[in-house]
Amino acid sequence: MKVLRFDSIGGASGDMILAALVDLGVSLDAIRGHLKTLPVSHYEITAEQVTDCALRGTRLRVKCHEHAHPARTLGDIVDLIAASALPDRAKSSAIAVFRRLADAEAKVHGTTPDSIHFHEIGAVDSIVDIVSSCLAIELLGVDKVTFGPLPVGRGTVKMAHGVMPLPVPAVAGLLKGYTVTQTDEPFELVTPTGAALLTTWAATPVPGDVHVRDDSPMTVLGAGYGIGSRKLNGRPNALRAVLMDTVGNTAVAQDECLVLECNIDDTVPELIGALTQSLMTSGALDVFTTAIQMKKQRPGALLTVLCHPDRKHDMLDLIFRESTTFGIREHVTTRTILDRRHIEVETPYGNVRIKVGAWKGTDITWSPEHDDCARCARIKGVPVRAVYEAALRLSATRA
């Protein structure tokens, strides 16, 4: 499993993140090639090697040739990304970043995400920064992203909506729950784009639900430094990206999990179904319901949620807001899991990812991803079962 760790000295912005990934080894020519399918134009990406406070790194700029940038809505930007031929994972990641930005801006302005008109963030350079960074993560084959405490500046900054305090309200909202360090720098060190990229990636569930602890042994594969364009007063304006790989079979065979449970007897089944989907999307390892008999023999459902302890508060918030329960029980447990990885097979109906489970170094379980099977079946007009069985047969030949 590949883990990407960001450590910030001078802040985090979209161009610094992309610069760090290019410095780490992502081909800028490959990024430019993929971006040709994105329906935006009149820009160019340049990169140069620079030194800041004796620290060498890459400075990257997206130069736009348009003098005016349209104020785009979330829907406009989603349509732009969806119309491209980028890899599906890069597309979904970029869209998730913009949705997170829209949610943060909507809370600041007291409106809805779909009503937000992006100004600075809707500009071509910001769209290119976000899409390119998500593409770079895909090209590196990253499974998990983490980041350390982010430094923030003090004072104010002038934006499209007027003078704002630092960190700007959107950034303060995006970084809720994350650690920051206060500096004496009178600049905007962490931008909304940088905060949205890092927090969206960090909140993305790890493929196969394998939990990698902070103290898991890893091999460092490389490091890259992104250098910002502003000269800071007392520190290099740098962001470091370190790519690591788990050592051998160190995707843990046993981990600690939290079990959350509650009884529900006055909620319609459709709402419980919607809650189940929201919990899984927000990082639950598993969610299921069990039919039970409540007081006076009322039929009810026992909702059980399995998650990592660091997702507890998100899970509690969703359950209380989306159900009628008045209390949630919890206990810590351990689980033994197979070592997991993904492979991709080419079926007559299209490519399908396979989750492979290994026990004591031997592959013993193969599970085609249902979403891939359903997508191929829909495109080819065949039963999902046909795609599933074809993928399963091909995965056996890869064993």
- Span 38-46, mean pLDDT? 86
Looking at the structure, do residues 129 and 230 belong to the same domain, yes or no?
A: yes
**Residue 354 per-residue DSSP state:** E
Looking at the structure, do residues 170 and 93 belong to the same domain, yes or no?
A: yes
**The pLDDT of residue 62:** 87
Looking at the structure, do residues 156 and 303 belong to the same domain, yes or no?
A: no
Looking at the structure, do residues 104 and 234 belong to the same domain, yes or no?
A: yes
Q: How many domains does the chain have?
A: 3
Tokens of 203: 């909140």
DSSP string, 362-373: EEEEEEE-HHHH
What is the C-alpha separation between 219 and 245, in angstroms, rounded? 5
**Start-to-end C-alpha separation, the chain:** 19
**The pLDDT of residue 67:** 56
- Comparing C-alpha atoms, which of 289, 278, 288 is closest to residue 316? 278
Looking at the structure, do residues 283 and 260 belong to the same domain, yes or no?
A: yes
Residue 157 lies in a domain: yes
Looking at the structure, do residues 192 and 287 belong to the same domain, yes or no?
A: no
- Comparing C-alpha atoms, which of 329, 205, 281 is closest to residue 273? 281
- Span 179-204, mean pLDDT? 94
Weakest-pLDDT range from 51-55, 71-75, 345-349, 390-394: 71-75
Looking at the structure, do residues 188 and 290 belong to the same domain, yes or no?
A: no
Question: What are the tens digits of pLDDT across the range 48-75?
Answer: 999 999 999 999 998 877 555 567 788 8
Looking at the structure, do residues 322 and 345 belong to the same domain, yes or no?
A: no
Looking at the structure, do residues 211 and 312 belong to the same domain, yes or no?
A: no
Looking at the structure, do residues 352 and 325 belong to the same domain, yes or no?
A: no
Count other Cβ atoms within 10 Å, centred on residue 308: 19
Positive or negative: CA dihedral 220, 222, 226, 232? positive
Categorize the per-residue pLDDT at 336 as very low, low, confident or very high, splitting at 50, 70 and 90: confident
Q: At 280, which CATH number? A: 3.30.70.1380
**Final residue before a domain boundary, out of 246, 267, 286:** 246
Looking at the structure, do residues 291 and 154 belong to the same domain, yes or no?
A: no
Amino acid (1-letter code) at residue 221: L
What is the C-alpha separation between 78 and 350, in angstroms, rounded? 25
Full domain range(s) for residue 363: 339-397
Cα Rg for the chain, rounded, in angstroms?
23
For the chain, how many residues are written?
Answer: 399
Residue 334 lies in a domain: no
**Residue 207 per-residue DSSP state:** G
Residue 98 lies in a domain: yes
Looking at the structure, do residues 228 and 313 belong to the same domain, yes or no?
A: no
What is the C-alpha separation between 193 and 102, in angstroms, rounded? 11
The proportion of the chain whose per-residue pLDDT surpasses 70, expressed as a percent, equals: 91
- Span 301-310, mean pLDDT? 93
Categorize the per-residue pLDDT at 251 as very low, low, confident or very high, splitting at 50, 70 and 90: very low
pLDDT beyond 80 at 209: no
